[in-house]
Structure 1
Amino acid sequence: MVDWEKVNSVWSAVESNLTAIGQNILLRLFEQYPESQNHFPKFKNKSLGELKDTADIKAQADTVLNALGNIVKKKGSHSEPVKALAATHITTHKIPPHYFTKITTIAVDVLSEMYPSEMNAQVQAAFSGAFKIICSDIEKEYKAANFQG
């Protein structure tokens, strides 16, 4: 069982630094999985150095972290925001579902680095568990939509 309270106690700190955290997560995603950059038209064919402090990466960072925060704050009762997120990623962005697992795994790593005292082993486990459930629920939406991307 996921301890959503632990997740949300750290998430409140994340919200005060959303853009920087989101930038770190996205840049690490692009570094570890360069092919993921192709799913973001504004970032395609640009180096990480070119992207680092652009308005576009900051805007995308805010979008990603706000969407994730909206789901996390539901404390497990997140079917509506998950459906909405999955729908746009299935129909508009056409991003394969395995990228949600990749980005949330990176998010735990980045949060652990940026908030070492808050992100102890128990909190890391809570985040990992929460993200695993969220990603599983997103994948169910993809299957229901018969995503072929």
Structure 2
Amino acid sequence: MADFDIVLRSWGPVEADYTKYGGLVMIRLFTDYPDAQKMFPKFAGIAKKDLAGNAEVADHGAVTLKKLGELLKAKGHHCAIVKPLATSHAKEHKVSLHSYTLITDAVCKVMGEKAGLDGAGQDAMRRVMHKIITDIGVTYKELGFAG
């Protein structure tokens, strides 16, 4: 639980502006991992130079960070949140488990640069996300999704 508390101490700025931070995270994801942009069909054709001004990209990032905020605030008691998330991401979106690792990296970097999440906090975020990703993987396995 300490890891959740460490991350939540820097979550305030993100929560205050999910759209801003969501856009930053998505842009970081697509910049650091260009192939990730192909995983989002509606974003695949957007030129890198146009990502920053794209409201749909920022909105998608905001939705992602809001869900992450729910997971963080559950402090490990996230089964009721993870199950439907994993189900939709397996059945509808076909999101690989590795993709969650990439978004974790982007979130850590943006929070480190813009929200004051220091190195220890970024390590805590990675541990928290490892647990969440593992739990998503359990649901994926139950559904027969290789993820």
Same fold (TM over 0.5): yes
Equivalent residue letter for 1:73? K
Match of 1:146 in 2: 144
The root-mean-square deviation of aligned C-alpha atoms, in Å, is 1.6
TM-score, normalization by structure 1: 0.89
Match of 2:86 in 1: 86
Structure 2: gaps spanning 5 or more residues: none
Match of 1:132 in 2: 130
TM-score, normalization by structure 2: 0.90
Number of aligned residues: 147
DSSP 3-state at the match of 1:10: coil
DSSP 3-state at the match of 1:3: helix
Match of 1:100 in 2: 100
Match of 2:3 in 1: 3
Distance 1:121 1:39 in 2: 29
Cα distance per residue 1:10-68 (max 9 Å; x no partner): 11231012212111111111122222212212101221212221121121011111111
Structure 2 contact 22–64 (Cα < 8 Å) conserved: yes
1:2 CA displacement:
4.3
Distance 2:96 2:52 in 1: 24
2:87 aligned with 1:120: no
DSSP 3-state at the match of 2:38: helix
